[in-house]
Chains A and B, each alone.
Chain A
């Protein structure tokens, strides 16, 4: 606890644009957590970037006062990787939903965990495609029958994002709940400070298409998976007992982040000389 007046206040990270999310949406809280986290980190807003795809939660960049990139569906992780690899001086945060991240973005998620570029990926998981009016997503239970596209339920097992992240090499894995924004702010700060690819699954209810998710606050158990282990096998063993609503930092690994740091060792003249016949 310090008494130093910070240079940047929470409001310095917020833009004047009003979110269009439905009142009650968990994403409001995540936005709040994100701006609080930036304020705790005290990184100059112009040195931060939020990269997103398409979906309700992907609207976040415009609601912040940092540099934002609102790209196409499912491709936020690669755009963010390109940005960080070219500009390692920036703090790069990626935001999006469970459809954007695990369906169309699934392949890139795999490789992002593997590649371990230093950035933080926040998935606001509401187990539905909200923006397109309520289809099942890869994290939706197979027997959820309220989508017109899959009225009998998908019949397909939901993916387990934390397991997937661990198996593919993510260096920091945690789960949070939008109903506890201060805890999420802490997770974000830890994630950003932890080197390599940090993955946060934030349960974030959709009050329009998954009204039953208002009940999440009664079942979420704070810090129940807070192992913060650096042992993947241990973390996976914990997840074997996971009920999907336990929060905390599961895993904080020791992989070195991927960041080629090439210094110029030659010049165009020397390179061109190799072509001389």
Chain B
């Protein structure tokens, strides 16, 4: 009889199946937790180990230090010096500079392309533009970095006459290429998911397509666009290979975007390979990793919260 299928035996199978799927769902969560715990644990000696603290305490990483008596105190990242210097400021300035340029480059292009594709492009055009921009996301970052190092750096220097061939602008533009598809995809999704009823209502009231897009669709989708920008920024902060190759890797403190920079991620990538296990330098690199992790984690979470609010808005829970 058919009823046999629902005997306890098959319930066990269902139970196991369900739990297995649950485990896969939690695997990623556990992995993230373990990664964070490990990275954080390796940076702990900075806070309690006397030997490490003497070389690299929080103080020394944040504030100006007078390394040689009589010379001006300064922020400096020179971990392999006779007097190791671990100021984090030059690295954070470098990271921010690259990310700012990347956003200045990627936000107008990404959002603009998204508006065009979602609102104005013909169906055929959209089916061409979308895959092409999304293809950009598929380019390995090392290829983008190599392109920026060999081709783009020379090109930009010839146009703008930069003193330093590899600089924040060069690295930032290359980073921007990696960020555009993230912003484009999410912003486009946000706009196409604005309910058709809203558009129809405005059109019925006599608004032109341009007015509908700018005054109805865009404001409604704004949280989604904001989320796309936040996530894009997170990618720009954490991206490694592009900045490692295209930024010049000089830990300089300056306000100029035409100077070379050294980012947090590139520093970890290039220095972790040679560092002696358990040394102060090793701990500081993991501390940098922890900060980077927390920062991108917060950005992603912020993006998610904004996105959820967007969903609620579509369902009419927020006016």
Partners in one complex: no
Q: Using CB atoms and an 8 Å cutoff, list the residues of chain B in contact with chain A.
A: none
